[in-house]
Amino acid sequence: MVGWIQRVRETLPQSRRWSDIAVLYRKHRHREQIVERLRKQGVPYATELRALLPLFRQVTRRPPAGTISLRCWPLGAGTDASGASSHRRSEGGRRTWALRVTTGRPSKRKDPRGRAAKDRGNPSRRRVRPRTAKRSGRRRAGRKLGAWRDRARGRSTTTAASAGLPLTSAGQAAELPTPIATELEVAGSPEVETALSDVPLSKGDAPMLSLAVPSMASDDPGLERPYSPVHRRRVRRTCLARPRWRVNLTAEEQPPAARAPARPAAAAESELLDRAAQAFRSLARDDLVRRLSAAKARLQRPSTVVCVVGEFKQGKSSLINALLAGRVCPVDDDLATSALTVVHFGDALKVVVRRRADGEQVVEAIDPATLNEWVTEQGNRGNQRAVERVDIALPHPLLRDGLILVDTPGMGGIGAGHGAATLAFLPYADGLIFVSDATAELSAPEVTFLKQSLELCPTVVFALTKTDLVPHWRRIHELNRGHLADAGLDLPVLPIASPLRHAAMKQGDPALEAESGIPALVNLLATDVIAPAKRLAARRARTDVHSAVSQVLPSLNTELAMLEDPARQAQGLAELQAARSRLDHLRGPGARWSQLLADRMADLSNEATYGLRRSVRELQRQMEGRLEEIKTPADWEDLSRELRTATAGAVTHIIGQLEAGADAIQQDVRAMLAEESLEAGELRALGRSIDVSALWGDTRIDEGVHRAGRVAGTALTGLRGAQSGIFMVSIFARFLPAGMAGILMANPVSLGLGAVFAGHQLIDANRRRLGARRQKARVSVSRFLDDVQFEVGNQLGDMVRQLQRELRDNLTERIGELHRSYAGALERAQADATRSQQQREARSAVLREQIALLERVSTEAGAGDARAARVGGQAQP
């Protein structure tokens, strides 16, 4: 077995054709069968073989604990088109393969064999295996493995383990948790080398690896069918060489227009949402169905913001282009990116430019082909068009999971202005890709920047670019590692050669793609950035289900109670009526909560505006003192850097306060609502009251989840955080005109050669000039602060208004839903009163069934929570 893998490993890089690889299967008895099965399923088996082989290779190669790297690539690479065009082509009806990798500990479903093994209990009897496993090669492998495990654990649990079974320390089969780490979806046209996942492993978890391929005939993208039992075993066994995790690899073909199919990690939640939606549909509650479908969309695409930063000319845009396998961001040998570029998912390529025109912000869609004219130094010299930000919507599979890539303009000497703005943005970002090229080692400002950003952002990746060009990049790599270690920074450093990815696409060369380093980066993003966001989204989906169910359940219960006990009908009707009128009031403009909301929001807005004005004034005062002292350009540099950092800090602080304030208001309003509703306590008579707390079920669910929680966490302040961060970067990009740094250096040489001959006269002249420059600097500082105050003030106003609107709408909507529940129940109860006994019984049966269905859904959501808590607890011990 090991020898076989060894051969695969050795042979693979050179062998390009599947037939070469298939020969390697000759020892496999079931080869024909596999092939036959695959043919029956219509799967081009060569593709699968190719997909599988590297999998073997990677899986068996990985260290006992650490990172597992899985990669797959489909066959049939074309050599004719660039990444972008192949992407378009894949939409034009070509088949698209999506490969997913999920991990989790093995399932209880596999228990029978595990128990059997345990019952046998004797490691020497390992040859007694499931019927399908008779080959001697397999036995050999099993023996080896058994020995390995014995050594590793000092116990004879080999049989169960080698059968792919999970074993807790007590030797018991473990329960199947939700696949934790990740599903990573990689989809692309056949030309696109897809790939992989780096799955974090922890010790003590038995692995399984399975491969599922859906029938090609199936139009349902969500349908997954076992690939082949034989094959499944085989893969699993291979994986046992290093038993740690269960790994699920699924490949599915997507119809070209397919949108975000269900994915395993969120599959449970997705299904839950579907079932809940179905239940509500049967209750004719379109409003709740809509809410759940919104939740589903969110679940499938939780926003995760990854910022790409670095000094200019390091290859940031190229990196993004390589990630997306196309020419998305403008790239040029000369300075290219002059505006903040945000790349996110969209159904069609669309480019929106935000710019200033006569002091007003103009948002306009432009022809993607003309993008260069807007954001490059050549097309838009010195940013004359005052472009602040470019939004690119792109139907790219990598972005489908909600990944948002932010390309920043290069920072000059990273500690300066842009750096400060980026740092301010980081608390909102889920990930940061720091780009520095291999032509030179890390500079001091870069290290400082990294140090600061590691404190602010959960995931920072160092991308060492241009490794395809620099012969001695390994040495630079080492030097950089040394610098990072000296600074006590622990972050992954990935060598990246962006052009190689494009070349690999063209040539269909997987090895070349691996060399480009992009797959590793995608892996890292998937596990460290997208997976946490997905977990959070799953959690939120469960809460949504809870909340929706609790909107309906009490009214149904009341109705049922009345049906079953006609004596209480009158009372029940009265109660329902009371509840309805109470909710009528709550919904109306006279309700106290809406008053409270308006008042508190006005306060908050004032506070924020005042806070901003105060900090700006304070800054101005500080700067004035300092401006009198500056003498040299270096002083000025320091000063402006400080100013920018301080401003960014102040603005971040105020936005943070605003969000905290909005949260507090939300809590207070809810408390008041609860109070108001409690006054309608008459419903207690039926043993059930309106469950107010469940009303606002989607409040804060990110408690205990740090960092990533900020983005997807709170219901109301979701993406706004990221947006204000993006806003901040663009503010700084705009307010720091080229002249800023050069003010004092306007003409440093007028002193140079001239001074030698002119003596003191010229120096005096320069003293006068220094005064003038100080004046200029003063004007420039105050203009900057004015601009900040104006812009940020406006933005704050917008934020508060939006917050208020969202809060109000959200609560009104919830009350409306509840109102509808009770109004419906009342109507039905009134109708029931006139029904015959038989009809009533039938009706109560239906009700009971509906209630049971909803309760089941709710319980499942609860179970999901518990499961996630367990897994989360293990993932972060």
Partner 1 sequence: MSQPPSAGVERTDVQVRRLADLAASLATDPALRAEAASLGERLDGPLRVAFAGRVKAGKSTLLNALVGERLAPTDAGECTRLVTIYRDGIGYGVVALMRDGTRRALDFRRQSGALDIDIGGLPLPSIERLEVTWPSSALRAMTLIDTPGLASLNDENSLRTRGFLALDGGRPSEADAVIYLMRHLHRTDAQFLESFLDRSLGPVSPLNAVAVLSRADEIGAARPDAMQSAARIAERYRNDEQLSSLCATVVPLAGLLAETGHTLREDEAAALRTLAASDTEVLQRMLTSVDRFVQEPYDLLAREEREALLARLGLFGVRLATAELHAGRATTATDLSRLLVNASGVAALRRVLAEHFLPRARVLQARAVLTALRDLARRLRAADESAAAQLEREIERTEAGAHEFAELRLAHLAATGALPVSQEEQREIERLTRPASPAQRAGLTDDASADQLAGVAAAGVERWRTKASDPLADPLTAEAASIAVRSYEALFLAARAPR
The answer to whether 372 contacts partner 1 (rule: CB under 8 A) is no
Per-residue string for binding with partner 1, 511-540, x by CB under 8 A?
-x--x-------------------------
Q: Which residue type does 513 have? A: E
Our CB check for partner 1 shows the closer of 83 and 395 to be: 83
In whole angstroms, how close is the CB of 367 to partner 1 at the nearest point? 25
Choose one: 363-371, 422-430, 499-507, 841-849; the region binding partner 1 (CB under 8 A).
499-507
The Cα–Cα gap between 616 and 650 comes to: 8
Choose one: 210-218, 285-293, 574-582, 626-634; the region binding partner 1 (CB under 8 A).
626-634
The answer to whether 499 contacts partner 1 (rule: CB under 8 A) is yes
| 117, 166 Cβ separation under 8 angstroms | no
The answer to whether 269 contacts partner 1 (rule: CB under 8 A) is no
The answer to whether 775 contacts partner 1 (rule: CB under 8 A) is no
The Cα–Cα gap between 386 and 353 comes to: 10
Pick the binder of partner 1 from 169, 581, 632, 794 (CB under 8 A): 632
Give the pairing of strands 340-345 and 350-357.
unpaired
> Residue 170: which residues within 8 A CB-CB, separation 6 or more?
none
Sheet holding 96-104: strands in order across?
Answer: 184-188, 96-104, 246-254, 208-212
The Cα–Cα gap between 111 and 585 comes to: 56
Choose one: 399-407, 493-501, 650-658, 714-722; the region binding partner 1 (CB under 8 A).
493-501
Candidates 234, 288, 99; CA nearest to 814 is: 288
CB burial of 634-644 (b: ≥16 within 10 Å; e: otherwise) equals eebbebbbebb
The answer to whether 479 contacts partner 1 (rule: CB under 8 A) is yes
The answer to whether 413 contacts partner 1 (rule: CB under 8 A) is yes
| 610, 619 Cβ separation under 8 angstroms | no
Our CB check for partner 1 shows the closer of 416 and 616 to be: 416
In whole angstroms, how close is the CB of 478 to partner 1 at the nearest point? 11
Our CB check for partner 1 shows the closer of 441 and 668 to be: 441
The answer to whether 570 contacts partner 1 (rule: CB under 8 A) is no
In whole angstroms, how close is the CB of 649 to partner 1 at the nearest point? 21
Our CB check for partner 1 shows the closer of 59 and 470 to be: 470
The answer to whether 784 contacts partner 1 (rule: CB under 8 A) is no
Choose one: 270-278, 282-290, 560-568, 625-633; the region binding partner 1 (CB under 8 A).
625-633
Burial class (CB in 10 A: 0-12, 13-18, 19+), 360: exposed
| 300, 260 Cβ separation under 8 angstroms | yes
| 214, 224 Cβ separation under 8 angstroms | yes
Q: Quick one: DSSP state of residue 123?
A: G
Choose one: 495-503, 687-695, 699-707, 821-829; the region binding partner 1 (CB under 8 A).
495-503
DSSP H stretches of helix in 124-228: 136-153, 158-162
The answer to whether 637 contacts partner 1 (rule: CB under 8 A) is yes
The answer to whether 574 contacts partner 1 (rule: CB under 8 A) is no
In whole angstroms, how close is the CB of 416 to partner 1 at the nearest point? 7
In whole angstroms, how close is the CB of 738 to partner 1 at the nearest point? 4
| 306, 579 Cβ separation under 8 angstroms | no
Our CB check for partner 1 shows the closer of 213 and 777 to be: 777
The answer to whether 379 contacts partner 1 (rule: CB under 8 A) is no
Burial class (CB in 10 A: 0-12, 13-18, 19+), 754: middle
In whole angstroms, how close is the CB of 57 to partner 1 at the nearest point? 19
The answer to whether 348 contacts partner 1 (rule: CB under 8 A) is no
Q: Which residue type does 603 have? A: D
Q: How far is CA 639 from CA 95, 629, 730, 805, 813, in A?
A: 57, 10, 21, 40, 50
> Residue 612: which residues within 8 A CB-CB, separation 6 or more?
650, 651, 654, 789, 792, 793, 796
Q: How far is CA 29 from CA 10, 35, 51, 134, in A?
A: 22, 11, 20, 10
In whole angstroms, how close is the CB of 370 to partner 1 at the nearest point? 20
Our CB check for partner 1 shows the closer of 483 and 688 to be: 483
CB atoms within 10 A of CB 596: 16
Long-range pairs for 634-641: beta carbons < 8 A, 24 or more residues apart: 635/744, 636/741, 636/743, 636/744, 636/777, 637/416, 637/741, 639/777, 640/416, 640/417, 640/740, 640/741, 640/781, 641/415, 641/416, 641/417, 641/420
In whole angstroms, how close is the CB of 479 to partner 1 at the nearest point? 8
The answer to whether 274 contacts partner 1 (rule: CB under 8 A) is no
In whole angstroms, how close is the CB of 193 to partner 1 at the nearest point? 15
The answer to whether 334 contacts partner 1 (rule: CB under 8 A) is yes
In whole angstroms, how close is the CB of 644 to partner 1 at the nearest point? 13
In whole angstroms, how close is the CB of 785 to partner 1 at the nearest point? 20
In whole angstroms, how close is the CB of 363 to partner 1 at the nearest point? 27
Our CB check for partner 1 shows the closer of 401 and 509 to be: 509
| 114, 230 Cβ separation under 8 angstroms | no
Pick the binder of partner 1 from 366, 503, 674, 705 (CB under 8 A): 503
In whole angstroms, how close is the CB of 269 to partner 1 at the nearest point? 43
CB burial of 482-520 (b: ≥16 within 10 Å; e: otherwise) equals ebbeeeebeeebbbbbbebbbbbbbbbbbebbbbbbbbb
CB atoms within 10 A of CB 76: 14
In whole angstroms, how close is the CB of 731 to partner 1 at the nearest point? 17
Our CB check for partner 1 shows the closer of 315 and 532 to be: 315
Our CB check for partner 1 shows the closer of 180 and 497 to be: 497
Q: Restricting to residues 701-760, which ones interact with partner 1 according to CB under 8 A?
A: 738, 740-742, 745-759
In whole angstroms, how close is the CB of 281 to partner 1 at the nearest point? 56
The answer to whether 487 contacts partner 1 (rule: CB under 8 A) is no
The answer to whether 443 contacts partner 1 (rule: CB under 8 A) is yes
Pick the binder of partner 1 from 35, 176, 283, 335 (CB under 8 A): 335
| 322, 83 Cβ separation under 8 angstroms | no
Tokens of 44: 């081009």
In whole angstroms, how close is the CB of 376 to partner 1 at the nearest point? 12
The Cα–Cα gap between 442 and 397 comes to: 33
Our CB check for partner 1 shows the closer of 622 and 750 to be: 750
Size of the site for partner 1 (CB under 8 A): 63
Candidates 108, 178, 102; CA nearest to 860 is: 178
The Cα–Cα gap between 579 and 670 comes to: 18
| 500, 172 Cβ separation under 8 angstroms | no
Phi (first) and psi of residue 212, to 5 degrees: -125, 135
Our CB check for partner 1 shows the closer of 208 and 438 to be: 438
| 328, 343 Cβ separation under 8 angstroms | yes
Pick the binder of partner 1 from 83, 410, 661, 721 (CB under 8 A): 410
Pick the binder of partner 1 from 216, 570, 574, 763 (CB under 8 A): 763
In whole angstroms, how close is the CB of 698 to partner 1 at the nearest point? 46
The answer to whether 370 contacts partner 1 (rule: CB under 8 A) is no
Per-residue string for binding with partner 1, 282-321, x by CB under 8 A?
------------------------------xx--------
The Cα–Cα gap between 757 and 564 comes to: 109
List interacting residues with partner 1 (CB under 8 A).
312-313, 333-335, 377, 410, 412-413, 416, 439-440, 443-444, 466-473, 475-476, 479, 497, 499-500, 503, 512, 515, 631-635, 637, 738, 740-742, 745-759, 761-763, 765-767, 770
